[in-house]
């Protein structure tokens, strides 16, 4: 497993980071991280786009889910069958959110180990033969942010970007006057919980990780905006 992890995640991300750093990153680790983040998100765009779309569709059918739960309140089997038919009718996969977590967590952890064990050492190991090893890694982003240390500016910027993405991911039906469902309440709470967790998690981490999370959240927010526009055009609300 360790070998597979090294070959599938660690080495490709490390080499991509060093490649950007040595070429179009102007020998600025921060710019290289931004480029790697955008590259990864573009490669994985179909997964994130599908996930964002599925989450929004899931919220749109909440009134139907609530009705099914009330209609088949005493029959769990019939309720599950009716829900599966509803999901099939609207093309919804209720487990799409899990896929996003499965994708994001290993990449974030790999970035952590690349920064700590790879870029943070004097002698880089794991580079491909065609990637030139830099004599020195400049961790000062834009001339004033040391990415090797925690940085509150990037941490709060990442939390703000995550808040923006979470707000965009909440669907509000103007014609729906009923009380919010439990799922809707949880979604609204996560708008605030996510940014708080971001601040707590990244508080003691190198700012390089905060920068990665910031760019990833911004990309997600922009993507969510266009998903919303597409669904609004398709469904009219």
Bridge partners of residue 146, in order along the sequence? 140
> Helix, strand or coil for residue 177?
coil
* Cα–Cα distance, 182 to 178 (Å, whole number): 12
| Total domains, the chain | 1
* Cα–Cα distance, 36 to 21 (Å, whole number): 10
pTM, two decimal places: 0.85
HSE, CB side, 13 Å, CA atoms: give it for residue 73.
Answer: 4
pLDDT (tens digit, 9 = 90+) per residue, 37-86?
A: 999 988 888 888 888 888 888 878 888 888 888 888 878 888 888 889 88
pLDDT (tens digit, 9 = 90+) per residue, 90-144?
A: 888 877 767 777 888 898 889 888 887 767 655 678 889 899 888 888 899 998 8
- Domain span at residue 110 reads 2-235
> Helix, strand or coil for residue 44?
coil
């Amino acid at each position: 497993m360790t070998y597979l992890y090294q070959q599938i995640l660690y080495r490709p991300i490390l080499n991509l980071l060093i490649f950007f750093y040595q070429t179009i990153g102007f020998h600025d680790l921060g710019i290289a991280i931004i480029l790697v983040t955008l590259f990864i998100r573009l490669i994985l765009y179909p997964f994130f786009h599908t996930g964002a779309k599925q989450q929004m569709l899931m919220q749109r059918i909440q009134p139907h889910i609530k009705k099914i739960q009330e209609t088949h309140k005493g029959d769990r089997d019939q309720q599950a069958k009716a829900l599966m038919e509803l999901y099939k009718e609207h093309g919804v996969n209720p487990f799409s959110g899990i896929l996003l977590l499965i994708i994001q967590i290993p990449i974030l952890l790999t970035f952590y180990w690349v920064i700590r064990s790879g870029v943070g050492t004097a002698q880089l190991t794991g580079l491909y033969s065609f990637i030139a090893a830099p004599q020195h890694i400049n961790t000062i982003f834009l001339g004033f942010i040391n990415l090797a240390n925690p940085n509150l500016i990037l941490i709060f910027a990442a939390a703000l970007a995550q808040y923006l993405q979470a707000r965009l991911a909440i669907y509000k039906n103007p014609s729906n006057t009923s009380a919010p469902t439990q799922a809707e309440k949880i979604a609204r709470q996560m708008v605030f919980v996510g940014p708080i967790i971001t601040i707590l998690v990244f508080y003691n981490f190198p700012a390089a990780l905060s920068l990665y999370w910031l760019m990833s959240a911004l990309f997600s927010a922009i993507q969510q905006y266009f998903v919303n526009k597409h669904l609004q055009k398709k469904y009219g609300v």
